[in-house]
Structure 1
Amino acid sequence: MLTRDFKETVKDRAARDPAFAKALLDEAATLFLNGEPHTARLVLRDLVNASVGFEALAVETNRPSKSLHRMLSEKGNPSMDNLADIFGALRKRLRVEIQAHAVAAE
């Protein structure tokens, strides 16, 4: 039986399916806004790997690739400015807009 690493499966699907990539971006934004930055960083990392790549993201955000890797690691702690630039570069690459909507908690 063949098995495949989950991260590779996500990366491949995001690379070939624009709607899936856009859903990952939306999920990362939602996770950040709902107080789950750890998971949001990991989703963003997978999306960067599947779409723009860290080297191109470094050029687009004017930040070192190594720093971006650290920011989106399990123990990363990116500033709001860095997050805004990362989301901006991904939005541009995926050609999407992000709109936040408040929903009352139950």
Structure 2
Amino acid sequence: MALTRNFKHTVVERVERDPAFAKALLDEAATLFLSGEAETARVILRDLVNATLGFERLAEATEKPSKSLHRMLSPKGNPSMDNLAAIFSAVQHCLGVGLKVHAVKARASTC
């Protein structure tokens, strides 16, 4: 019989013992949003919120109802840029980190 663990519990435990992992998740979520992969980014950000400050504290920090935040960070969620910025800000504050955007030279575009 194979031993399995709940993925969410694994993420929580890893974040608790490895702050660099939590920062990497935040970075990955931001990168995915900026790369147009919003659904995956929301799922990662939701897992990070669950592993760090939790939705009740996030609700207090963003002045948004917890249920609304859960919906925003669901795979089909659609948070506004203001709400997304507030969520990222609260998680950054919790982790004691900041995000920096680095421009990468893009290929020639037709737009």
1:1-106 matches, within 5 Å, as 1-105=2-106
What percentage of aligned pairs have identical amino acids?
Answer: 69
Query: Cα distance, 1:60 vs. partner?
Result: 0.5
TM (norm. structure 2) is: 0.91
TM (norm. structure 1) is: 0.95
Provide the C-alpha distance between the structure 2 equivalents of 1:6 and 1:93, rounded to a whole number of angstroms: 22
Provide the C-alpha distance between the structure 1 equivalents of 2:104 and 2:98, rounded to a whole number of angstroms: 19
Give the count of matched residue pairs.
Answer: 106
Q: Which protein is bigger by CA-based radius of gyration?
A: 2
Q: Which runs of 4+ in 1 moved over 6 A?
A: none
Query: Cα distance, 1:104 vs. partner?
Result: 2.5
Structure 2: which amino acid aligns with 1:74? P
CA RMSD across the alignment: 1.1
Provide the C-alpha distance between the structure 2 equivalents of 1:104 and 1:11, rounded to a whole number of angstroms: 36
Provide the C-alpha distance between the structure 2 equivalents of 1:75 and 1:82, rounded to a whole number of angstroms: 15
